[in-house]
C-alpha cells in the first residue's frame, strides 16, 4: 500500500469509531417505532430513498440534513452539500431527481445568505430546482434540511438490500477532485465539474438501473467507503471480504491523504455497487465515459461479517449477526421476516 501502509486493525478501528458511522446506530430503534405497512410503499427504511408505486412508475422520496459541524465550518458549503447529498440519494436508487423543498432555520443574515448561495449553486449545476419549503427566520441556531422527489421505472430501481452472495463489490468514484478547504473529510469533485459533467455522472445510475446491470447499490455517504458498504451488507443480510489495496484513491504524489482518512471521506461523486461479473465491463465503460474510476474491491458472501484484508493481515470490521451492526436495520429486517 506504499505511503498508505497501516494495519488492518488500525483501519477497522478508525472506521468503527468514526462519528459518521456511530451516529447511525439509533436508526434501527426508531424504525421499529415508526414503520407502518402502507399499500403502494414498495421500500422505505434502509434505502437511500423511499419507493412509492405511482401507476406504472415509482416515486422516490428522500430527505437529508447537514451535520452541524459543517454548517459551523462553512455555511456556503453546507448549503451546497444539502442539495448534493439529496441528489446522490435519488441517483443511487437509479432515479432521476425532479425537485426539492427545504426547511431552513436561521440565526443570522450572513449565514442565511451563504447557505442560500450554496444551495442555488448546486441546484443550478445539477438542474434540480428548489420549489418550496419552510423558513424559521429567527432561531438561535442555523440548520438546513432538504427533501427531494425523484422518479424511476418500477423495474429499474437499484435497492440496497438485494446484494447476492458471489457478487463483485465495485467502487465507482470521481477521483478528479480536492480535499475541500473547509472540511478535511470531504472530497470535492463536483464543484470542479461542469453542469454537463455532473449530470452525465448522475445519469449513469439511471442506465445501470434500467439495464439491470447491478444487483444493489448505495451512494458513499458520511460513513465513508467501508461504512457505506457495511450499511448495504447489513440490510442485505450478507457479508464481504474487502481488499484495502484495491480501494481507488487519489494520486498520493498529488494528494497527501492518510489512508485511514480516505476511507472515511465523503466524496463529491461516489457509489458502492454489487454486480455479477458478466456486467463488469459494461458498468466500467459507462462510468469511464462520465469521468469516473471503477474498481473491484471484494466480493459478497453469506458470512454476515465485513472483513478487510491487506496482504497477510485480516480484520473483521463489522459482525452483522450480533450487536456489531451500523444501523441495526438488519435486525429489524429479520424481525419482520
Q: What is the pLDDT of residues 142-201, one digit of tens each?
A: 999 999 999 999 999 999 999 999 999 999 999 999 999 999 999 999 999 999 999 999
Same domain, 164 and 180: yes
Please indicate, yes or no, if residue 228 is contained in any of the structural domains: yes
Same domain, 173 and 96: no
Same domain, 270 and 332: yes
Domain count, the chain: 2
Place of cell 431552513: 104
CA separation for the pair 103, 185 (Å, rounded): 25
Side-chain half-sphere exposure of 220, counting CA atoms within 13 A: 24
Place of cell 447499490: 217
Q: What is the pLDDT of residues 98-126, one digit of tens each?
A: 999 999 999 999 999 999 999 999 999 99
Q: Point out the domain boundary residue: 107, 122, 154.
A: 154
Please indicate, yes or no, if residue 225 is contained in any of the structural domains: yes
**Residue 108: how many other CB atoms lie within 10 Å:** 10
Same domain, 181 and 92: no
**Residue 152: how many other CB atoms lie within 10 Å:** 23
Same domain, 163 and 298: yes
SS3 277: helix
Q: Point out the domain boundary residue: 154, 176, 192.
A: 154
pTM of the model: 0.88
Same domain, 258 and 167: yes
Side-chain half-sphere exposure of 15, counting CA atoms within 13 A: 29
Closest Cα partner for 62 from 77, 79, 44?
Answer: 44
Please indicate, yes or no, if residue 33 is contained in any of the structural domains: no
Same domain, 57 and 134: yes
For residue 2, the 8-state DSSP code is G
* pLDDT at residue 35, as a whole number: 57
CA angle 200-149-147, nearest 5°?
105
CATH code where residue 114 lies? 3.30.1330.10
Same domain, 192 and 143: no
Same domain, 165 and 107: no
Please indicate, yes or no, if residue 41 is contained in any of the structural domains: no
C-alpha cell at 296: 473491484
Same domain, 209 and 262: yes
Regions of the chain with pLDDT less than 50: 1-4, 331-337
In 194-301, at which residue ranges do the beta strands (DSSP E only) sit? Answer: 216-219, 239-243, 266-267, 270-275, 293-301
Q: Point out the domain boundary residue: 119, 154, 189.
A: 154
Q: Which domain, by its residues, includes 200?
A: 2-26+159-336
Same domain, 99 and 214: no
**Residue 195: how many other CB atoms lie within 10 Å:** 11
Please indicate, yes or no, if residue 21 is contained in any of the structural domains: yes
Please indicate, yes or no, if residue 279 is contained in any of the structural domains: yes
Amino acid at each position: 500500500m506504499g505511503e498508505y501502509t497501516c494495519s488492518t486493525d488500525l483501519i477497522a478501528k478508525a472506521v468503527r469509531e468514526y462519528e459518521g458511522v456511530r451516529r447511525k446506530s439509533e436508526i434501527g430503534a426508531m424504525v421499529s417505532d415508526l414503520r407502518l405497512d402502507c399499500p403502494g410503499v414498495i421500500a422505505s427504511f434502509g434505502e437511500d430513498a423511499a419507493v412509492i408505486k405511482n401507476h406504472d412508475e415509482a416515486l422516490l422520496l428522500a430527505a437529508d440534513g447537514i451535520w452541524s459541524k459543517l454548517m459551523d465550518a462553512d455555511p456556503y458549503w453546507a448549503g451546497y452539500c444539502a442539495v448534493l447529498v439529496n441528489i446522490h440519494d435519488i441517483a443511487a436508487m437509479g432515479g432521476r431527481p425532479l425537485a426539492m423543498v427545504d426547511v431552513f432555520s436561521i440565526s443570522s443574515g450572513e449565514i442565511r445568505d451563504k447557505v442560500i448561495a450554496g444551495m442555488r449553486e448546486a441546484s443550478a449545476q445539477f438542474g434540480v430546482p428548489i420549489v418550496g419549503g419552510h423558513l424559521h427566520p429567527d432561531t438561535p441556531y442555523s440548520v438546513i434540511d432538504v427533501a427531494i422527489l425523484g422518479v424511476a421505472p418500477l423495474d429499474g430501481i437499484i435497492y440496497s438490500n438485494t446484494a447476492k452472495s458471489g457478487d463483485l463489490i465495485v467502487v465507482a468514484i470521481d477521483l478528479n477532485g480536492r480535499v475541500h478547504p473547509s472540511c478535511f473529510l470531504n472530497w470535492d469533485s463536483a464543484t470542479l465539474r461542469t453542469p454537463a459533467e455532473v449530470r452525465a455522472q448522475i445519469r449513469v445510475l439511471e442506465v445501470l438501473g434500467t439495464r439491470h446491470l447491478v444487483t444493489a447499490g448505495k451512494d458513499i455517504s458520511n460513513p465513508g467507503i467501508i461504512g457505506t458498504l457495511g450499511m448495504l451488507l447489513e440490510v442485505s443480510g450478507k457479508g464481504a471480504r474487502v481488499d484495502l489495496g484495491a480501494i481507488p484513491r487519489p494520486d498520493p504524489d498529488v494528494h497527501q491523504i492518510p489512508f485511514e482518512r480516505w476511507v472515511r471521506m465523503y466524496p463529491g461523486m461516489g457509489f458502492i455497487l454489487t454486480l455479477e461479473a458478466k456486467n463488469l465491463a459494461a458498468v466500467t465503460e459507462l462510468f469511464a465515459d462520465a469521468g469516473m474510476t471503477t474498481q473491484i474491491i471484494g466480493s459478497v458472501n453469506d458470512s454476515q461479517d465485513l472483513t478487510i484484508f491487506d496482504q497477510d493481515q485480516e480484520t473483521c470490521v463489522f459482525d452483522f449477526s450480533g450487536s456489531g451492526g451500523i444501523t441495526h436495520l438488519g435486525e429489524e429486517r429479520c424481525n419482520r421476516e
